[in-house]
Amino acid sequence: MKLGIIITSLLVTGLAFAQNHGEVKYTTKINMHAELPDDENSEMIKQMIPEFQEMKNVLLYTDAESFYSNDSNDDAEEVIEEEDGNMQIKIEMDSPEEKIYTDIANGIIIEQRDLMGKAFLIKDTLKATDWRVTDVQQIHSGLVCQKAELITERDTIIAWFTSEIPVSTGPAGFAGLPGLIVHVSMNGGNFQITATNIDKREIGKKEIKAPTKGKQITAEEFEELERKKMQELQEQYGGEGGVIMITN
């Protein structure tokens, strides 16, 4: 009798372990027209670019860690440069290389981010986020999900997570909820990340690795560097006429 109980317990544990491994494909959809400044040039730019830009990413997860990166099949890139009188317009629409490793068990996050073709490595601890979990439920990606909200200084972020996959991780570094995040909405719905396919397959030990490429830098230093690079581009392409750029 005792042997039977042990065998049954091992089988149940094995099934639970398998359920908490998987691969999730996400699509990020950005309303490019909504990102344009509200001025006289906006209508002209709207005629040059599509209203929406889409990017594809993949998340590998286990109970202990996860890894988020670009989908290798997504190679869409477009650069548009136009001149209109004294104004130069440069519009870049591409998917910069992005890798985010999360050590869920130990609360560590490592990001490899690309800026103007250069790689940077950002290491940090997972900070507690003040998610407000609601009682609202919906079906997302074929799973019963629950709504959570995160209010920041800039925006109200809405996330939908599922307790059917009890791993505290999600796309683009979003985490901290008692289940996999399958949908994120920001900027009034103009920026959305949605899970399009969930495969509860076993993830091998070698499939998830922390990124090591790039100069190590803090998140604050990266934001400041990003701001300076954007200012340099504005000066380079703007001249006396100004410049309008949209980058993601």
pLDDT digits (tens, 9 = 90+) for 30-81: 987 776 766 666 666 667 777 678 899 999 999 999 999 998 765 555 544 5
Q: Give CA–CA dist 132/148, Å, rounded.
A: 5
Overall domain count for the chain:
1
User: Domain span at residue 219?
Assistant: 22-246
User: Which residue type occupies 246?
Assistant: I
Higher pLDDT, 132 or 42: 132
- Of 62, 57, 59, 101, nearest to 76 by C-alpha is 57
Residue 75: its pLDDT value, please? 55
Query: Does 99 map to a domain?
Result: yes
Q: Give CA–CA dist 13/63, Å, rounded.
A: 13
Determine how many CB atoms are found less than 10 A away from the CB of residue 186. 20
Query: Does 17 map to a domain?
Result: no
Q: Give CA–CA dist 73/71, Å, rounded.
A: 5
> 95, 55 in Cβ contact below 8 A?
yes
> 58, 25 in Cβ contact below 8 A?
yes
Average pLDDT, the chain: 80
- Of 164, 170, 190, 166, nearest to 178 by C-alpha is 166
Q: Give CA–CA dist 23/67, Å, rounded.
A: 10
Query: Does 133 map to a domain?
Result: yes
CA 103 to chain CA centroid, Å, is: 16
- The CATH number covering residue 68 comes to 2.50.20
Query: Does 2 map to a domain?
Result: no
Residue 144: its pLDDT value, please? 96
On the question of pLDDT at 184 being above 70, the answer is: yes
Residue 226: its pLDDT value, please? 86
Residue 40: its pLDDT value, please? 61
Higher pLDDT, 86 or 204: 204
